[in-house]
Amino acid sequence: MHFLMATVALFVLFVGYGYAGFNGPPWYVDIVVEGSTASALGIEPGDEILSVNDESFANWDEFGDVVSNLEEGPVDIVIERDGERLNLAGELGLRPEDVLLDGFGLSLIVEDVDVGLEVGYLWPNDLADQFGLVQGDVLVSAGGVGNVDQTSLAALLRENNGDDFTIEVQRNGEFVSLTDTVELRTDAPFRGFFGVGPVFVPDSDPGIGTSAGLAVEDFAAISKANLVSLGDMVNPSRWFGDQEPGVQRRAQLQRADNATPVQPTESGDTNRPLSVVGIGRLIADSESVQQVLFLFAIVNIFIGIFNLVPLLPLDGGHALIATYERARSLATRRPHRVDATKLIPLTWVVILLLVGVGVWTVTLDIFSWPGS
């Protein structure tokens, strides 16, 4: 019944609300960042990226996850352009903001497009601070290259890592030359940078028959995601809010820039198991009927899958016992019944774990909810 209710909710979303599906609408390349990996590969607006290092993806978010989790180095891309499939090979770089902020300790802003990049924030005692840069400096050149953007500056810093490097800035109307040795931090989590922006295909209006098929496909996609989330339930970072150094630094930087609290985005938020209280809060925060229906479908699919875990007192445990009894009865041609009393200790362990998870998630949803 959980699965049936979820499928019906997805069907209603497709038919009545122009829902684009769990994986979102298809996307194509719209923007190619100059000096990026995509630019070097010859990616053009209108291209459809099919795979990266033989790894495919269902949507734009998954594409970002695939790329950001890759290490710097050789990369093979499969694209489709004007109906023709092409294989491209090149070198994957790193996100400029990772290199600048987490490696160099510098945040750049553009106050005036005619002037150029301006130092928005310096991480105290990091390399940019040691160089002598100060907030408000406008970059004139770096390593002898003028009119640098974030991508080219990050590339220059990495190319000259371990060597003397000169940065020229304009400060209070005067030109200042700063020279020091580049020694980028290596303990921060650098991520891959590809350099494209998406354009999404407009949502279609499927008919009833098509919507039924799409609802089943979406059910499968959400089920897969829920199976992954079951694995995440044993990940301590989902429970205790561990953050990567780079995430912490960006959150602190945002506080420094805006002087306002930053809502948790990577951990300590709803990206963890939720209780009934948390689900109720999500419903209260929903902005439309579509969001409520979508949440209804996801929750029902998760409950249905979780209930199939082969442990008592869950239905999956009963099903496993019944299957074993039937299989053994057929094999021995004699009725066989499992002594369920022998499983009571294990059942109590499962019950206590479920109660503990319930109490813990309720506590987090009451006291650690974003914005509370």
With a pLDDT cut of 90, the percent of the chain lying above it is: 22
Residue 30 CA to its chain's centroid (Å): 21
pLDDT attached to residue 251: 41
Query: Is the Cβ–Cβ distance between 246 and 189 less than 8 Å?
Result: yes
Query: Is the Cβ–Cβ distance between 6 and 304 less than 8 Å?
Result: yes
pLDDT attached to residue 204: 66
Q: What residues contact 193, with CB distance under 8 A and at least 6 apart?
A: 36, 37, 67, 92, 93, 94, 95, 96, 98, 151
Q: For 78-125, what is each residue's pLDDT tens digit?
A: 999 998 999 999 888 777 877 888 788 888 877 555 667 888 888 888
Say whether pLDDT at 195 is over 90: no
What does the pLDDT average to over 190-216? 82
Tell me which range, 155-159, 188-192, 234-238, 321-325, is most confidently predicted by mean pLDDT.
Answer: 321-325
Say whether pLDDT at 268 is over 50: no
Provide, for the chain, the percentages of residues in helix, strand and coil under a 3-state DSSP scheme, each rounded to the nearest 5: 45, 20, 35
What does the pLDDT average to over 248-268? 38
Q: Is 192 exposed, middle or buried (0-12, 13-18, 19+ CB in 10 A)?
A: buried
What does the pLDDT average to over 158-168? 89
Q: Which amino acid is at 70?
A: L
pLDDT attached to residue 30: 92
What does the pLDDT average to over 293-306? 90
pLDDT attached to residue 115: 64
Handedness of CA 301, 307, 310, 316 (dihedral sign): negative
The hierarchical CATH code for the domain 26-92+191-201 is 2.30.42.10
What does the pLDDT average to over 53-57? 89
Q: Taking the domains of the chain in order of start, what are their residue ranges?
A: 26-92+191-201, 106-181, 274-367
> Is the link from the previous residue into 313 a cis peptide, with omega within 30 of 0?
yes
Q: pTM of the entire structure?
A: 0.56
The two three-digit tokens of residue 145, written as one number? 């290259």
Q: Any idea which fold 106-181 has?
A: Pdz3 Domain (2.30.42)
How would residue 263 be classed by pLDDT, with cut points 50, 70 and 90? very low
Domains 26-92+191-201 and 106-181 belong to one CATH topology: yes
More confident: 10 or 102: 10
Map residue 127 onto helix, strand or coil. helix
Q: For 130-150, what is each residue's pLDDT tens digit?
A: 889 998 888 888 988 888 888
